[in-house]
Amino acid sequence: MKKPLFLSSLGGLIVCLASLPALAQESTSPPPSSPPPASAPPPASSSNMGDGAMGVGAVVWLGGAGTNGPVTGAQFVYDMSAFHVEGVFGFDHVSNNGASQTGVAVGVAGWYHLAKGQNADFSIGGGAGLVYASAMGAGASETGFSLEPGAEARWFPSPNFALSARVGFAIGFGDNNAPTTFTLNGQTTGGIGFTYFFR
């Protein structure tokens, strides 16, 4: 009589012990892993934020035009993905005791983007400019010309703003027996130009 009760108790104990590893395995299994966060898209290149951007700024060229100073003035830039072109216009007028002097500077330049980085580009090209200065009083006016092949680097701290500097040859000549000058020059901080682009 006691034997069947003992055997049934023993069988129940074996079943309980057999289920323990399964319960322990379920309770210690790690939670499902969450999917990895999506990676952020790479930042857009500031030096190529779209074709056909117009910009305005200021620039100083490398060398003098004849006996006059370098081409300098307001800069107007049309920026494409592979190149940019610029026009420069400067004007000044001085009056003193009835005498006056007027200076006008104009120039055009084109630059091919040889290399482009995340926030900068490096271009080769050059420009041609003219600087006219009327003499104070009865003196003769002077017209100087400048040819400047070289390279230009631009840095874009933001997509709409660029700082630029040049290095190259400056060839200057003019009328009224002005000397012809040939200079290899580069711009330091005093000659760096800037451009704001309307993108």
Output the 3-class SS for the chain: CHHHHHHHHHHHHHHHHHHHHHHHHHHHCCCCCCCCCCCCCCCCCCCCCCCCEEEEEEEEEEEECCCCCEEEEEEEEEECCCEEEEEEEEEEEEEECCEEEEEEEEEEEEEEEEEECCCEEEEEEEEEEEEEECCCCCCCCEEEEEEEEEEEEEEEEECCEEEEEEEEEEEEEECCCCCCEEEEEECCHHHCEEEEEEC
**Which of 3.30.1600.10, 3.40.50.300, 1.20.210.10, 2.40.160.20 would CATH assign to domain 53-198?**
2.40.160.20
pLDDT over 70 (residue 31): no
Of the ranges 17-26, 159-168, 182-191, which one carries the lowest mean pLDDT score?
Answer: 17-26
For 100-135, how does the pLDDT look when each residue is reduced to its tens digit (9 = 90+)? Answer: 888 999 999 999 999 999 999 999 999 999 999 887
Residue 22 or 145, more confident: 145
Q: Residue 135: its pLDDT value, please? A: 78
Binned at pLDDT 50, 70 and 90, residue 14 comes out as low
- Kindly state the average pLDDT of the residues 35-47: 53
Q: Residue 24: its pLDDT value, please? A: 45
- Kindly state the average pLDDT of the residues 93-101: 84
- Per the prediction, the chain carries an average pLDDT of 80
Residue 61 or 24, more confident: 61
